[in-house]
Amino acid sequence: MQKFFLALVFMCANNIAQAQYISGQEYIGWLDARDRLAINKGSGLDEYYKQNVMSFTLGVADAGDGLVFCIPKDVIAGQLEAIVIKYVRASPEYWNQPAAQLIMNALHQAFPCKKK
Protein backbone atom coordinates (compact mmCIF):
# COMPACT_ATOMS: atom_id res chain seq x y z
CA MET A 1 0.00 0.00 0.00
CA GLN A 2 2.85 2.38 0.82
CA LYS A 3 4.38 1.81 -2.62
CA PHE A 4 1.04 2.61 -4.25
CA PHE A 5 0.80 5.99 -2.51
CA LEU A 6 4.41 6.80 -3.27
CA ALA A 7 3.81 6.04 -6.95
CA LEU A 8 0.65 8.17 -6.93
CA VAL A 9 2.49 11.13 -5.38
CA PHE A 10 5.29 10.79 -7.94
CA MET A 11 2.85 10.72 -10.87
CA CYS A 12 1.00 13.81 -9.62
CA ALA A 13 4.21 15.74 -9.01
CA ASN A 14 5.46 14.78 -12.45
CA ASN A 15 2.27 16.05 -14.12
CA ILE A 16 2.44 19.34 -12.22
CA ALA A 17 6.09 19.83 -13.13
CA GLN A 18 5.35 19.17 -16.80
CA ALA A 19 2.59 21.81 -16.94
CA GLN A 20 5.09 24.61 -17.48
CA TYR A 21 6.45 22.82 -20.54
CA ILE A 22 3.19 22.81 -22.49
CA SER A 23 3.86 25.36 -25.20
CA GLY A 24 1.34 27.56 -26.88
CA GLN A 25 2.09 25.63 -30.06
CA GLU A 26 1.22 22.34 -28.37
CA TYR A 27 -1.99 23.88 -27.01
CA ILE A 28 -2.88 24.93 -30.59
CA GLY A 29 -2.40 21.29 -31.60
CA TRP A 30 -4.91 20.31 -28.92
CA LEU A 31 -7.33 22.92 -30.30
CA ASP A 32 -6.88 21.50 -33.79
CA ALA A 33 -7.78 18.04 -32.44
CA ARG A 34 -10.87 19.55 -30.81
CA ASP A 35 -11.85 21.10 -34.15
CA ARG A 36 -11.41 17.79 -36.01
CA LEU A 37 -13.72 16.08 -33.54
CA ALA A 38 -16.31 18.83 -33.98
CA ILE A 39 -16.58 18.01 -37.69
CA ASN A 40 -16.40 14.20 -37.17
CA LYS A 41 -12.90 13.93 -38.63
CA GLY A 42 -11.13 13.11 -35.37
CA SER A 43 -8.94 10.07 -34.92
CA GLY A 44 -6.57 8.40 -32.52
CA LEU A 45 -5.72 10.66 -29.62
CA ASP A 46 -7.97 13.58 -30.62
CA GLU A 47 -10.46 12.94 -27.80
CA TYR A 48 -7.58 12.91 -25.31
CA TYR A 49 -6.27 16.22 -26.67
CA LYS A 50 -9.75 17.72 -26.58
CA GLN A 51 -9.99 16.83 -22.90
CA ASN A 52 -6.55 18.35 -22.36
CA VAL A 53 -7.87 21.70 -23.55
CA MET A 54 -10.59 21.83 -20.88
CA SER A 55 -8.50 20.26 -18.12
CA PHE A 56 -5.45 22.44 -18.64
CA THR A 57 -7.54 25.59 -19.06
CA LEU A 58 -9.48 24.96 -15.86
CA GLY A 59 -6.31 24.05 -13.98
CA VAL A 60 -4.69 27.36 -14.87
CA ALA A 61 -7.95 29.19 -14.14
CA ASP A 62 -8.12 27.63 -10.68
CA ALA A 63 -4.49 28.43 -9.96
CA GLY A 64 -4.66 32.09 -11.03
CA ASP A 65 -8.14 33.06 -9.85
CA GLY A 66 -7.92 35.83 -7.28
CA LEU A 67 -4.23 36.40 -8.00
CA VAL A 68 -3.81 37.19 -11.71
CA PHE A 69 -7.47 37.55 -12.62
CA CYS A 70 -10.81 37.45 -10.79
CA ILE A 71 -13.41 35.19 -12.38
CA PRO A 72 -17.01 36.06 -11.42
CA LYS A 73 -18.85 33.31 -9.58
CA ASP A 74 -21.47 32.90 -12.32
CA VAL A 75 -18.97 32.10 -15.11
CA ILE A 76 -19.06 28.45 -16.17
CA ALA A 77 -16.28 26.21 -17.47
CA GLY A 78 -17.44 26.37 -21.09
CA GLN A 79 -17.25 30.16 -21.02
CA LEU A 80 -13.70 30.09 -19.71
CA GLU A 81 -12.72 27.64 -22.41
CA ALA A 82 -14.34 29.78 -25.14
CA ILE A 83 -12.61 32.96 -23.91
CA VAL A 84 -9.22 31.28 -23.83
CA ILE A 85 -9.62 29.62 -27.22
CA LYS A 86 -10.66 32.90 -28.86
CA TYR A 87 -7.65 34.71 -27.33
CA VAL A 88 -5.14 31.99 -28.20
CA ARG A 89 -6.32 31.62 -31.79
CA ALA A 90 -6.16 35.41 -32.26
CA SER A 91 -2.61 35.66 -30.84
CA PRO A 92 -0.23 33.56 -32.96
CA GLU A 93 2.62 35.92 -32.06
CA TYR A 94 2.50 34.46 -28.52
CA TRP A 95 2.34 30.77 -29.39
CA ASN A 96 6.01 30.41 -28.47
CA GLN A 97 5.11 31.19 -24.84
CA PRO A 98 4.01 28.55 -22.32
CA ALA A 99 0.34 27.66 -22.75
CA ALA A 100 -0.28 28.53 -19.10
CA GLN A 101 0.90 32.08 -19.79
CA LEU A 102 -1.46 32.39 -22.75
CA ILE A 103 -4.36 31.19 -20.63
CA MET A 104 -3.50 33.62 -17.84
CA ASN A 105 -3.25 36.49 -20.33
CA ALA A 106 -6.66 35.64 -21.79
CA LEU A 107 -8.34 35.40 -18.41
CA HIS A 108 -6.63 38.52 -17.09
CA GLN A 109 -7.84 40.45 -20.11
CA ALA A 110 -11.39 39.12 -19.67
CA PHE A 111 -11.57 39.27 -15.87
CA PRO A 112 -9.14 41.81 -14.37
CA CYS A 113 -9.30 42.11 -10.60
CA LYS A 114 -10.87 45.30 -9.31
CA LYS A 115 -8.56 47.41 -7.17
CA LYS A 116 -9.83 48.02 -3.67
CATH code: domain of residue 106: 1.10.890.40
Domain assignment of residue 33, given as a range: 22-110
Closest CA to 71 of 101, 103, 107: 107
Report if residue 52 sits inside a domain: yes
Report if residue 50 sits inside a domain: yes
Report if residue 13 sits inside a domain: no
What's the total number of domains in the chain?
1
Q: Which residue has the higher pLDDT, 87 or 3?
A: 87
> Distance (Å, rounded) from C-alpha 82 to C-alpha 46?
18
Q: Model-level pTM greater than 0.95?
A: no
Q: How confident is residue 15, by pLDDT bands cut at 50, 70 and 90?
A: very low
Report if residue 85 sits inside a domain: yes
Q: Is the pLDDT of residue 10 over 60?
A: no
Closest CA to 91 of 22, 19, 26, 28: 28
Report if residue 104 sits inside a domain: yes
> Distance (Å, rounded) from C-alpha 83 to C-alpha 107?
7
Q: Is the pLDDT of residue 105 over 60?
A: yes
Q: Is the pLDDT of residue 11 over 70?
A: no
Report if residue 98 sits inside a domain: yes
Q: pLDDT per residue over 25-64, tens digit each?
A: 999 999 999 999 999 998 888 999 999 999 999 999 999 9
Report if residue 115 sits inside a domain: no
Report if residue 45 sits inside a domain: yes
